[in-house]
Amino acid sequence: MTNGKEDKEITIYDIAKRLKISPATVSRALQDHPRISAKTKKKIFELADEVGYRRNHFAGNLRSQKTQTIGVIVPRLNSHFMSSVIAGIELMANEHGYSLLISQSSESARKEADSAEAMFNSRVDGLMVSLAYDTNTLDHFDKFFRKKTPVIFFDRVKPHRSATSILIDNYQAAYDATKHLIEQHCKKIVHITAPPMQNVYKDRLAGYRSALEDAKIKFREENVIVTNLTQEAGYESAEKILKMKPLPDGIFVANDSCAIGCMIALKEKGIRIPEQIAFVGFNNDPMSTVIEPKLTTIAYSGFEMGEVAGRLLVNHLNSTSQINNTTTIILRSDLIVRQSSLKSPAGH
């Protein structure tokens, strides 16, 4: 029930006047300042509520030199994984009164730098980034580092002495994936991945290689196919695979979309999966249960990664202490076995 004119914004001055107290007291009460008596606080809160007071962020932020805004730069928005991450971040941020400024690099280092610049100009309090496909330097974040604005890299990260990283153990996950194929008696295992410029692909390649070597299978350069990991790339990779002699009997792909593109193409050529070629993907995209046979994959939660990153940043921002910045957080990932990799009926 608002009575009278609704369109005039209420300020702390209005409240102060009506309560015959000073604006400073109102300001402090609204911030739950300890040195204000419970009584006055109550009065103030009640009136504020009644007249529909809303804090003017611009005035407050101008004064306090804080923006209450977190910048997020991702390669693309429209992947299941990334939008889950954003959802996780959004949850934490909203809970703590932060807003999100979201921007996509479209997998381009240049656009990533532009976005960083824009974020910097917006004076975000903190920045969360998953690096673009071809980012190979962190120079465009120097401004943030110099200004001690916290920067968190997630999933696609590069180590930096003044940034936090959140990721999974890509090496181990790839090792497990490859080992699983070996246990299914695969002898020639191909790895489809992106250029090893990003940690995720470098580590997955290393895990793949180690698993092979531990099983006394020789690692061969020619069994690694480097693509951009899109579904189309997977489709095209199938041609290369069909030319291999002998045909591989197992393929470990560094992401699900690409694996699925490849599977579709191979199936069209009459290859039987998993009998002739077994498949393991990466990411547990919803599509992995739609493809036939269902895709064995590495699962890790984007939502959780977003939550963790968000919580970390919020804690950092709310604590006055300078937290040690160069942390690395490893989240859990799991191999999910589905039909696409099961040569032997139900785990031999």
Whichever of 117 and 268 has its CB closer to DNA, that residue is: 117
Helix, strand, coil percentages, rounded to 5, for the chain: 45, 15, 40
Q: What span, in angstroms and rounded, lies between the C-alpha atoms of 278 and 281?
A: 10
Which range of residues in 84-92, 200-208, 239-247, 314-322 is near a second copy by CB under 8 A? Answer: 84-92
Among 42, 292, 318, 328, contact with a second copy (rule: CB under 8 A): 292
Q: Taking CB within 5 to 8 Å according to partner kind, which of a second copy, DNA, none is near residue 28?
A: DNA
- What phi and psi values does residue 194 have, to the nearest 5 degrees? -100, 170
Q: Taking CB within 5 to 8 Å according to partner kind, which of DNA, a second copy, none is near residue 11?
A: DNA
DSSP structure class, residue 270: T
For the CB of residue 184, give the shortest distance to a second copy in the complex, in Å: 23
The burial class, CB within 10 Å (0-12 / 13-18 / 19+), for 290 is exposed
Indicate whether 57 belongs to the interface with a second copy (CB under 8 A).
yes
Q: What span, in angstroms and rounded, lies between the C-alpha atoms of 27 and 88?
A: 32
Among 41, 43, 80, 188, contact with a second copy (rule: CB under 8 A): 80
Among 19, 21, 287, 317, contact with a second copy (rule: CB under 8 A): 287
Nearest alpha carbon to residue 192 among 265, 281, 252: 252
Q: How many residues are listed for the chain in this entry?
A: 348
Nearest alpha carbon to residue 338 among 276, 273, 267: 273
At position 250, the amino acid (one-letter code) is: G
Q: Looking at residues 45 to 84 of the shown chain, list those that interact with DNA (rule: CB under 7 A).
A: 53-56, 59-60, 62-65
Indicate whether 49 belongs to the interface with a second copy (CB under 8 A).
no
For the CB of residue 280, give the shortest distance to a second copy in the complex, in Å: 17
Which range of residues in 53-61, 162-170, 215-223, 335-343 is near a second copy by CB under 8 A? Answer: 53-61
Q: What span, in angstroms and rounded, lies between the C-alpha atoms of 283 and 288?
A: 9
Indicate whether 55 belongs to the interface with a second copy (CB under 8 A).
yes
335 CB-near residues (< 8 Å, 6+ apart):
173, 176, 177, 180, 280, 296, 297, 298, 299
Q: Taking CB within 5 to 8 Å according to partner kind, which of a second copy, DNA, none is near residue 339?
A: none
Q: What span, in angstroms and rounded, lies between the C-alpha atoms of 242 and 248?
A: 9
Q: Looking at residues 3 to 42 of the shown chain, list those that interact with DNA (rule: CB under 7 A).
A: 9, 11-13, 20-25, 27-28, 30-31, 35-37, 39-40
Binding site for DNA (CB under 7 A): 9, 11-13, 20-25, 27-28, 30-31, 35-37, 39-40, 53-56, 59-60, 62-65
